[in-house]
A and B are shown apart, each in its own frame.
Chain A
C-alpha cells in the first residue's frame, strides 16, 4: 500500500522518488517499502559503503588475524579502533605484557597506495606488505586482505597474492573483495564477506583437512553463535546461557573469534543466528554445504531471549535441555525483575523513534514493549524485504517506517512525531540532540552489554538516563529561546 498523502514528508517534495521508501506497518498485510536499491544522490544519506560492511562490521571483530587494507592510508585509518566490537585476544606489547587494546582494534595495517601504485599496480606492494606485517606482528592466526575502491578499480589480482603469502606463512590468507562503491549500502559488504569467507574456508578445509574438527572431538550439542559481533562484551552474557543450557560453542561468527575456530564452523550441529541481515548468507551456505541447520533468534529483551533458549533446546529435542531452558529463564527473570520494574515505572508510555541499520529495528520493538514504551517511527539504513517483513510483524500497526532515511527526513520525523527518545547511531545522535531529543547509541551502545536478560537492564538504564537527564528541562526555558 503506498504511503498516505498525510505521511509524505515535506522535505522530500522535490525528490518524490523517496516516497516509495516510506510505509505504515501492518501485521495482516505487510507494507514493504522500496529497499536495498540505489541511494538518491545528494539526498544526505546516512548509508556507508560496502567496505565498511565487510571490514568494519563482519570482518573487524575477528580477534587474531592481521587485517590488511589494500588502499591509500585513509580507508585503514577510518577502521582503526572505532567500532566497539571487543575481543579477549591481545597481541604482545613486550615480553610479559599484552597490548592495551584487543588485537582487532589495536592497529591499522595498510599498503598505503600511492599515485605510482595506482598507475603501475599494487600487487607486489601487497605481497610485500602482507609478509612484512606477518614478521612485525607475530603470532596471528591468519591474514585477511580487503580491497577498496582504489585497489578494486586498478584491478589488482589479490587472490594470487593470497595464495603466495599463504604458502609462505602456512596460515590461511583470505581475500575479501568488497570495494566501497560496489552495491547500494554496507549490506553488500556483509554479503561479500559471508560468501567469500565461506568459499575460501571450504577450499582451505579441503587443502588442510587437519584444521577440521576431529570426529572424536565433536559433541552432539555443538553450536555456533552466528552474527554476533561482541559489542561491549555482549558475548559475556550470551555464551554462558547457551553453555548452561548444555551446548558447546564451537565458534562465534565473528565476535572476537580466532581463525582456527572459524574454520571449524561447519563442524557444529547448529548455527544460532543472531544478526539475520549480515550473517544469514553464511548460515544458508553452511546449511547447503554441510547440512548444518540454523535457527534464527533475537537475543534482546526477555521474551525473545527466552524464545531463543527454548528454540535451541527444542532443536536438540532433549527433554532435559528443555527443562533446563525453563529453569534458566525463570532464574534470569527473577534476577532482573526488581530493576526492570523500576525502569518500567519510569518509562511507561514514553514515545520512541528508532533508526538502526536493519535488524535491531525488529529485534527491539518487543524490548520497547517490555519497558512500556511506544514506537512512533522506525527507520533502517540497509534493510532488505525480509527485514521489513519482520518489522511489520513485530511492530504495532500503523508505525511509520522509512527505508534508508536521510538527514532531513530524520529531522522532520523528530519534529513531527516528537519522540521522547531516539535510538540511533553516532552521526545522527548529535543531530537529534540539537533538536532537543535524547538518544541512545544503538550501534556501539552507550554502556553495554545490552543483550539477553541481564543486559536489558543496561539498555533500560541508558534509555532512562537519556529521557530523564536534567539537561533537557533547561532547553525548554522560553526566556532563553
Chain B
C-alpha cells in the first residue's frame, strides 16, 4: 500500500506522476533533456548513470526501468540485460570505456552526497577525456536520480519484480522518450497478468 491514494496498477513513479500532473511536466522534461537527445554521451551511457545511482539508492523500480531502457538502447538482447546487471554490481570490472568508469565513479560520489566529489575524482574523468559538459551532466543525472528514487520510495509506491514489466517499460522509453507520454495508461505486461488471474 502506497502512503497516499494512487491509481491502482500503476507501478513506481507512474502513480505519483498521474496524481500530480503539474509537477510531472517539469520532471518529465528534466528526464528528457538529461537522458535523451543529441549528446557526446550516448543515451545508453546516460541511462547507465541513472541505473547505477538508482541501484546505489536501492530503488527497485528506477534501477529496473532505467536498466531496461539502457539495455534496449544497447540492442535489447539478453546479453545486454546481463551487461547492465554486471555494471550495477561492479562497473570498474566491465568493458566500459575508462571515461564512463570515471563518470560512474563521480555519480557514485554524488549519490553519497555532493561534497563527496573530490578534485581527484574530477581529474580522473578529465584525464580520460571527459568534457565540462559531460561532468556537469553526470553530476546532474546522479543528483536527479537521488530525487526520483526518493520520490518513488518515499511515497511507498508499488514496485513489482516481474522483469517482463520492465522490459515493456524499457522498450517504450527507449523509443518514445519521457515527454508527451500517458503515464496513466496500463502496461500490457500487467494487464495480461490480471487477465490470466481473472480467467
**Do A and B form a real pair?**
no
A residues apposed to B, CB below 8 Å: none
Contacts from B to A (Cβ < 8 Å): none
